[in-house]
Structure 1
Amino acid sequence: MPASDLSPTRALVRLGAFCQRHALWVIGAALVLSVCAVLVVMRHLSINTDTGTLIDPNLPWQQDNAALDAAFPQNRGLLAIVIDGQTPELADSAASQLTAALIAEPSLFTTARRPDGGPFFDQNGILFLSTKEVQQTADDVIAAQPLLGGLAADPTLRGLLGVIDLVLQGIQNGQAQRSQSQEAFGRMAATIDANLASAHVVQPLSWQSLLSSGPPSPRALRRFVLAQPVQDYGALQPGKKATDFVRATAEKLHLTPDYGVTVRQTGNIAINDDQFASVSEGIGVSTTLAVVLVLGLLLLALRSVTMTAAIMITLFVGLLMTAAFAALTVGALNLISVAFAVLFVGIAVDFGVQLCVAFRAERSHAPDARAATSAAIRRIGGALVLASLAAASGFFAFLPTAYRGVSELGLIAGFGMLIAVALNLTLLPALLALLPVRAERREVGWTTLAPVDRFLLAHRRLVMAGGVVVALGALALLPRLSFDFNPLNLVDPRTESASTMLELMHDPLTTPNTIDVLTPSVEAAAALTPQLEKLPEVANVLSLNSFVPADQPEKLAILSDLALLIGPTLDTPAATTPPTDDALRAAAAKTAATLRQIAPEPDSPERRLADGLDRLSKADAATLARVGEALLVHLPLTLDRLRLILSVQPVALADLPKDLKESWVAPDGQARLSVFPKGNAADNAVMERFVDAVLAVAPHATGTAVTIQQSSRTIVGAFITAGILATAMIALLLAVTLRRLRDVLLALVPLMLAGLLTLATTVVIGLPINFANIIALPLLLGIGVAFDIYFVMNWRAGRGNPLQSSTTRAVVFSALTTASAFGSLWLSPHPGTAGMGELLSIELGYTLLAVLVFMPALLGPVATTRGSRES
């Protein structure tokens, strides 16, 4: 029996005829449903931007992560603030000021702390240096004893000039070498010059650097603040209020590059916020371009404004109803399921294009629009229903997976396919019945492709052999398929958060790609540490015990000797009478003259200092005060730090401060270990070996490195499971509908070929599969199987010359509209979104290739009688 005479087809034709006869009622019902959908969406649909909810929380590794968060809630959802200063003192001061400002805003920040600062580290930090470094520090302080003595007694510009005079006397008397003081003189000269040149910004002298034998390291100029912001997961950027406050506070406190300080924000919160901002920026351009292209292509395909309007109305109503379904089922869209709208438009537009192109084909000889619509439904209606069911099956296959983000997307998009086909068989015919549609003068199709049809039919064995060769080549490349599930590679590296994180990853002590191990007690942590330290993939292991310095007797002996030598110097009573401005000017001129006597060379540090002091001797009172402040503002803090170091005592576990203990030991006694990787922490292969090695010793380890690796494995597993399940479901659906194994294979083989070619191309062009573009794979099932079904159903109905048919026209323009919708994402400044658009474009190209080249060769000639194919 012919396909057009099957009972389901007759039912669809009758349904379409009913909707046309009662077009106003159908359109009115669609309007009422749309209004109701809008109300439901406004009241019940929200966006959940919490990336932690994208994967099933019941997975074992997720449970391990939850256990760590429960034990140390203060370490969850942290905003990392990186502070770099031109001097160690500036970095310290900035970190202290910013921490205090954040603590004072409990509505925005739950906690804020300095992991590398505070009274404990101010006093005992020197004990964490190596014994050699402690000795070098002691030697530097001893060498600076004359300088310290004079400044401790008179910590003013007068005292500094007096100390310089004392050093110069030693040089003149042969008791000291010029080279020993040149670096200090050079830094003082630079400070004076900078502050004489700028009347608005004080650029202070670093006394910590001045008392050191070498320049400060990058680590010495960097401080960290860890803040736990209150996030709004209903907003596109959950941490925006907190990050905006940090920026505003830094400006208010003059913690800016103009004042020698740079404040940057990173961590998951800042990165996600920057990512969402980048995505939304790109979506605006992409959406505008996509709408323009889709409308243009629809007009080109249908050559009718009214039919284009009918499709767009149907599409819009379907989108609203799908959104309402999402509101009633999942309630909140996650960062992946929000893509249902793009998928719906990309796939559902195909149903409208297919029906309207078929309508155009029938309109060339049908007496009126209603008859043409009924004939079009008779011709394509069954294929539309089958295609929608197959696409829905592809999406529903994700429901049982642990990747909740895609699972919810599958539920929404799958049901959306059913809504779309229902509206295209009811609302669209009603709109076509009312809107003026002109008659076609000739059959719709591409007769110019007749030679291609004949060639493919005449050389079908060669074409199929070519397909087999191409498929085998693609299969050979699949073992080299690359997976990159590092979320940092999906964000714009030019953003502050991403660039800062990439910078931190290159320092083994600041990399965020670490592993945390939760142990029952401090003793258990201590016992596990040696096992982890033996692993070749591990660089370092930190625990509470790590904050008890090693080799304390040797270091304390050095500091004890230093205290005997330097202690009395620092305890000298300070002068109480401040110097007058005239006295300071005279002292500056006198010191400058002495400097010129010692250093006649014009480019020497002494001469540069002499020139600066000469200008200072002629400056007004405000300038004199400003330069004096710049030279000495950090001196009291430096002297106080030295006094603290000299009074250092042995540190035991019991002596550690409460806040430090709470960072490593939970209230119930559980203790945390932090494991750092050896090698390049930005290398996925290095991190994979690191995670596997640590998990072999500590199976319940968690942390950023574990989460990234386990997430990738969960996601890959979810897509493999869903792919197998989707293929099986679609095959079963086709088998039930088509009832012939050969026909089922004819519908699936081009789809498999397009998939193989897509994955092989990612290998050739170096495009890895990642969190973003992997979403493109379900689209292949949705669109590809629909295109295949249209051709198979035509072939079963005895319609030959597939490339000349209206179906080919519909398929090509449907693919182009979809490519316009998704391919425009390629223009996004967000790497993840752009990569998704790139893969979607590649995928659609191969889908068309498989359908238009290999499908006709696979189908071969139609039967001489239409009934023979259905027997």
Structure 2
Amino acid sequence: MKIVALTLRKLLNSLEAIIIGYPNTLILLTCIACGFSVFYTAENLKINTDTTNILSPDLPFQQDRQRFLKAFPQDDQAILVVVDAKSPEQTTKALSYLGNEFREIKQQVESVYIPGEGPYFDKYGLLYLELDDLKDLSSKLAEAQPFIGTLSGDNSLKGLLSIIELALTQDDRDLPIDLTVLLDKIRAAVRAELEGKNYQLSWQQMMFGTGQGVLTTQRFILLKPKLDFSSMVPAEQSLKSVRRVVENAKQLFPDTRIRLTGEVVLEHDELESVQYSTAMASVFSVLLVFISLMVGFRSLKLTIVTLIVMTMGSILTAGFAALAIGSVNLISISFAVLYIGIADDYAVQLCLRYRELLQEKLPKKQALITALHSVGPSTALCAITASIGFFAFIPTAYTGVSELGIIAGAGIFIAFTISMVVLPALLGLLSLDPVKATAPKYAFPDWAYRFPTQNRGLIRWLSAILTIAGLALLTQVKFDFNPLNLRDPNSEGVATFRELLKTKETSPMTLSVLSPNKADALATAQKLKQLGSVESAVTIFDFVPESQEEKLAVIEDLSVVLGLQLNEFPPLHEDTIENHSQALSHLQKTIGQKLKGMPEESPLSISLQLLDNDLKQYLVQLEANPIPTKKLSLEKLQTGLLDTLPDTMNSLFKGLKADTVSINALPKDLTERWLNQEGIYRIMVFPSKDLNDLGNMEEFIGEVRQIAPHATDLPVIYLETGKAVVKAFQQALMAALLAITVVLLVIQRSIKETLLTLLPLLMAAILTGASTVLMDNPFNFANIIIIPLLFGLGADGGIFISRRLRSLSSKDDSVLRTSTARGVIFSNLTTICSLVSMAFTPHLGLASMGQLLTIGLVLTMVCTLLVLPAFSNNRRGSLSNKPSN
């Protein structure tokens, strides 16, 4: 400590004349420097929102990822559009509209890919059915040939009802679908008209069934947006254009659900959340720090000069960040909030010590110089230890935190310099009347201030018990490596992403494996399919239909049965109101006659009874309406029942023209995602379990990588990033602890004093880690940095209190009554106030960081003020001749 004290005193002595003699000039020069810093920061400091840069690109899993993206770059940084409707036809219409509109905004969207869309799948779609399913479909359509022929001649409501009427009156009349089901669909359409709702019958589901994958009601679009990483929000313009198209589609297709997700959407929403959360936390931090300083100082003047010093320090730190790094990332930007609470620590100690000396009737100039020399050595040591907590992250592979370490570590020294140089100049100009600076009124009785020293035994035993219990809980500490848990669970992107994770077929959390040749790709895929955690392993060869000869034979037979003259099914036939009304009346009468001879409990009888009742109501309502309304209602009923039939039949006719498929026949936009020009094959591995569960994700990755060690994609990125962050945390923790210990040993030249200073830090760190278990708030990418920071930030209080204990006389062991203790309390309170605002921000990552740092600093303050004095055996003679702070 003597070396630092002597060096600092020499420096202060040389600056003393300037600080005391030319305060206006010093303040003016600092303001000019701040003005230049503001200008330089505005011109040069950027926000790097590319999250792939927060870890070193030299890590093995990062290199695996880069190799994959080099081979298959098509879907990197993509927007996933999820389209859901009640029927395949509705989904297809919305999908077609969206695809066309997205292709028009070429300035914002680089490419549009719709799996399963296009002329290829129109022609070869039937080949992707299972052979048994294709045979069943062929049998149904063969039986339905008369039905199709009748409707092709009269595709109208009258034509459909006449066929049903014949089926009810002739027992040998066959339909391609179950009559009961069709009657229920007609009733649903009639009921919708009675209630003024929309309804559309899906003929694809009626003919093909609902279990076929080609007829899914959920489809996807993959968009590759153009990102501008020089912008603060790189995906902003692209997403605005995409969302504008989506909103228009929602107006045109009100019954269709359209959602956006994918890494681009998730990262964009997170960036907006971080920006909003940081701005909100900064405003509330300043407000809370102002209130805490007012409570601590009980002086508006001291509060204002402290805030001025904080502002100057933050401006100069931002300028340093622009000069040294040029950008901030989603992690280092959090220092904007942290600095508000950290930067005032040194100013608080100087202000309180200065006022304390004024209360002792020292002249203003002498009080200022004495205060500066009194707290200077201790604050210098605190600046060193605090910066170590940040600098410890610099050597790690966690680039995002490494940059935070550089900026924050330098910011600590900037805050110290401003507090030791500019603050005295401001205080010299401040008219703080020593007469009014009366002795403080203590808030607690005398025994409270002497509690740590008078109850040493109790506190030591409790500390030992709590530390042992904390160590036991540390064995259960977890790290949550899923970044989804740091994002707003109610946002559209996160909610959609989690929903897709629950299904085996649509999970976006797949793994990708590269193979150098066909034989290796097929062999690796076969091995992967045997794993319990794997649902399927898909290669380009899976897009070549199996059993093509048998399927083509079935399709050829079907085309003969249906007749090649039906190359295009006719559109809806517009008929008269009278014909439609008569057809409905005839059907209702036929149903009444049919019910007379049927058992009441049979399924067909129940369906007929319900339809009969609804038809009666509808005909009464129809008769009461004016002609225009009647016409509109009948047209709506016909459209709801038959509008999808022409598209369904036309799609079927296209499929009847299929021929043999090979890899070379596959469309280019599909092929390039599975086989690149260099002959590298891609294997996409789908999980068999819900990857919302972290255990399932670890099992999936572990099993796949036993066969394919270089497997990559989002699950691996999440897991390996977590491991890299944990390793960086461990390195930073050990580096911070070792560096702080060495600094304390060198400066204090006492193992005992060093251990005494470290004691509250170690205990607080253990209890903070244990709190994550008790509160079920695991470490994550954001809050894991707080333990090394606690060593740096928490060392300040230990240094100040241990120094003050050494300067107290044996008769006055009430260190809690001193300005030093008050300074520790209020400087910690201001830091805590800045962090509490983070704990309530919408961004879950920043919130968890603020919450855990708040807990850690509270525990550090309690341990410093209670445990440290209790373990101190300072009962020597008077040391009052030593400088006190």
Q: Distance in 2 between matches of 1:577 and 1:86?
A: 25
- Is it true that 1:540 corresponds to 2:540 in the alignment? no
Identity, % of aligned positions:
32
Deviation of 1:237 (Å): 3.7
Correspondent of 2:178 among 177, 180, 184: 180
Q: What's the counterpart of residue 566 of structure 1?
A: 562
- What letter matches 2:180 in structure 1? Q
Between 358-367 and 702-711, the greater mean CA deviation after superposition: 358-367
Deviation of 1:337 (Å): 0.9
Correspondent of 1:288 among 283, 291, 316: 283
Q: What's the counterpart of residue 545 of structure 2?
A: 549
Between 49-58 and 639-648, the greater mean CA deviation after superposition: 639-648
Q: 3-state DSSP class of the match of 1:663?
A: coil
Between 231-240 and 804-813, the greater mean CA deviation after superposition: 231-240
Deviation of 1:174 (Å): 2.3
Contact 1:798 1:862 in 2 (8 A): no
Contact 1:516 1:672 in 2 (8 A): yes
Q: 3-state DSSP class of the match of 2:223?
A: strand
Closer/same/farther in 2, CA of residues 613 and 154 from structure 1, 3 Å limit: farther
Closer/same/farther in 2, CA of residues 576 and 391 from structure 1, 3 Å limit: closer
Q: What's the counterpart of residue 601 of structure 2?
A: none
Contact 2:572 2:643 in 1 (8 A): no
- Is it true that 1:504 corresponds to 2:514 in the alignment? no
- Is it true that 1:414 corresponds to 2:409 in the alignment? yes
- What letter matches 2:826 in structure 1? F
Contact 1:47 1:236 in 2 (8 A): yes
Q: What's the counterpart of residue 798 of structure 2?
A: 788
Deviation of 1:346 (Å): 1.9
Closer/same/farther in 2, CA of residues 217 and 357 from structure 1, 3 Å limit: farther
Closer/same/farther in 2, CA of residues 513 and 868 from structure 1, 3 Å limit: farther
Q: 3-state DSSP class of the match of 1:413?
A: helix
Give runs of aligned pairs for residues 700-715 of structure 1, distance below 5 A: 700-715=710-725
Deviation of 1:845 (Å): 1.6
Closer/same/farther in 2, CA of residues 449 and 802 from structure 1, 3 Å limit: farther
Deviation of 1:539 (Å): 1.8
Correspondent of 1:161 among 158, 161, 184: 158
Q: Distance in 1 between matches of 2:873 and 2:141?
A: 91
Give runs of aligned pairs for residues 337-352 of structure 1, distance below 5 A: 337-352=332-347
Correspondent of 1:403 among 388, 398, 421: 398
Deviation of 1:181 (Å): 1.8
- Is it true that 1:680 corresponds to 2:686 in the alignment? no
Deviation of 1:13 (Å): 5.6
Between 565-574 and 221-230, the greater mean CA deviation after superposition: 565-574
Closer/same/farther in 2, CA of residues 611 and 651 from structure 1, 3 Å limit: farther
Give the structure-2-normalised TM-score: 0.92
Correspondent of 1:633 among 624, 627, 643: 643
Q: 3-state DSSP class of the match of 1:426?
A: helix
Q: What's the counterpart of residue 766 of structure 2?
A: 756
Q: Distance in 2 between matches of 1:715 and 1:792?
A: 34
- Is it true that 1:251 corresponds to 2:247 in the alignment? yes
Contact 1:390 1:786 in 2 (8 A): yes
Q: What's the counterpart of residue 602 of structure 2?
A: none
Q: 3-state DSSP class of the match of 1:649?
A: coil
The Cα offsets for residues 611-646 of structure 1, whole Å up to 9 and x where unpaired, read as 546756765244444443343332221011211333
Q: 3-state DSSP class of the match of 2:220?
A: strand
Between 450-459 and 32-41, the greater mean CA deviation after superposition: 450-459
Correspondent of 1:229 among 221, 225, 230: 225
Between 351-360 and 395-404, the greater mean CA deviation after superposition: 351-360
- Is it true that 1:604 corresponds to 2:610 in the alignment? yes
Q: 3-state DSSP class of the match of 1:76?
A: coil
Q: 3-state DSSP class of the match of 1:231?
A: coil
Between 523-532 and 219-228, the greater mean CA deviation after superposition: 523-532
Q: 3-state DSSP class of the match of 1:307?
A: helix
Deviation of 1:153 (Å): 2.8
- Is it true that 1:801 corresponds to 2:799 in the alignment? no
- Is it true that 1:371 corresponds to 2:340 in the alignment? no
Q: 3-state DSSP class of the match of 2:696?
A: helix
The Cα offsets for residues 390-419 of structure 1, whole Å up to 9 and x where unpaired, read as 111111111111111000000000000010
Gaps of at least 5 residues in structure 2 are 597-605
Contact 1:3 1:796 in 2 (8 A): no
Deviation of 1:453 (Å): 4.7
Q: What's the counterpart of residue 102 of structure 1?
A: 102
Q: Distance in 1 between matches of 2:139 and 2:446?
A: 92
- Is it true that 1:476 corresponds to 2:463 in the alignment? no
Q: Distance in 1 between matches of 2:147 and 2:802?
A: 93
Deviation of 1:523 (Å): 3.4
Contact 2:481 2:781 in 1 (8 A): yes
Q: Distance in 1 between matches of 2:377 and 2:670?
A: 69
Deviation of 1:787 (Å): 1.1
Q: Distance in 1 between matches of 2:189 and 2:871?
A: 81
Contact 2:338 2:831 in 1 (8 A): no
Contact 2:125 2:214 in 1 (8 A): no
Q: Distance in 1 between matches of 2:123 and 2:189?
A: 28
Query: Aligned pairs, how many?
Result: 864
The Cα offsets for residues 573-614 of structure 1, whole Å up to 9 and x where unpaired, read as 859986445444444444444344435878523543565467
Deviation of 1:369 (Å): 2.9
Q: Distance in 1 between matches of 2:622 and 2:163?
A: 20
Q: Distance in 2 between matches of 1:612 and 1:322?
A: 76
The Cα offsets for residues 291-328 of structure 1, whole Å up to 9 and x where unpaired, read as 22211110111111111111100100100000001001
Between 799-808 and 293-302, the greater mean CA deviation after superposition: 799-808
Contact 2:56 2:399 in 1 (8 A): yes
Report runs of 4+ in structure 1 exceeding 6 Å deviation. Answer: 1-5, 215-219, 867-870
Deviation of 1:344 (Å): 1.6
Contact 1:72 1:663 in 2 (8 A): yes
Q: Distance in 2 between matches of 1:18 and 1:794?
A: 29
- What letter matches 2:60 in structure 1? P
Q: Distance in 1 between matches of 2:881 and 2:555?
A: 100
- What letter matches 1:211 in structure 2? M
The Cα offsets for residues 687-719 of structure 1, whole Å up to 9 and x where unpaired, read as 112212222222221101110011000111011
Q: What's the counterpart of residue 855 of structure 2?
A: 842
Q: Distance in 2 between matches of 1:11 and 1:650?
A: 88
Q: What's the counterpart of residue 77 of structure 1?
A: 77
- Is it true that 1:743 corresponds to 2:753 in the alignment? yes
Contact 2:5 2:376 in 1 (8 A): no
The Cα offsets for residues 29-83 of structure 1, whole Å up to 9 and x where unpaired, read as 1110110000101110111111111111121211111111111121110100000
- Is it true that 1:336 corresponds to 2:331 in the alignment? yes
Between 187-196 and 511-520, the greater mean CA deviation after superposition: 187-196
Q: What's the counterpart of residue 150 of structure 1?
A: 150
The Cα offsets for residues 151-208 of structure 1, whole Å up to 9 and x where unpaired, read as 22333x2xx422321232232222259993232233234335535755xx96433221
- What letter matches 1:823 in structure 2? V
Please give the root-mean-square deviation of Cα atoms over the aligned residues, in Å.
2.9
Gaps of at least 5 residues in structure 1 are none
- What letter matches 1:834 in structure 2? A
Q: What's the counterpart of residue 653 of structure 1?
A: 663
- Is it true that 1:388 corresponds to 2:386 in the alignment? no
Q: Distance in 2 between matches of 1:790 and 1:250?
A: 60
Contact 2:335 2:404 in 1 (8 A): yes
Q: Distance in 2 between matches of 1:18 and 1:656?
A: 80
Give the structure-1-normalised TM-score: 0.93
Q: 3-state DSSP class of the match of 2:874?
A: coil
Deviation of 1:216 (Å): 8.2
Correspondent of 1:594 among 590, 596, 601: 590
Q: Distance in 1 between matches of 2:261 and 2:826?
A: 44
Closer/same/farther in 2, CA of residues 797 and 104 from structure 1, 3 Å limit: same
- Is it true that 1:668 corresponds to 2:678 in the alignment? yes
Contact 1:186 1:609 in 2 (8 A): no
The Cα offsets for residues 359-392 of structure 1, whole Å up to 9 and x where unpaired, read as 1211102433332222222221111111111111
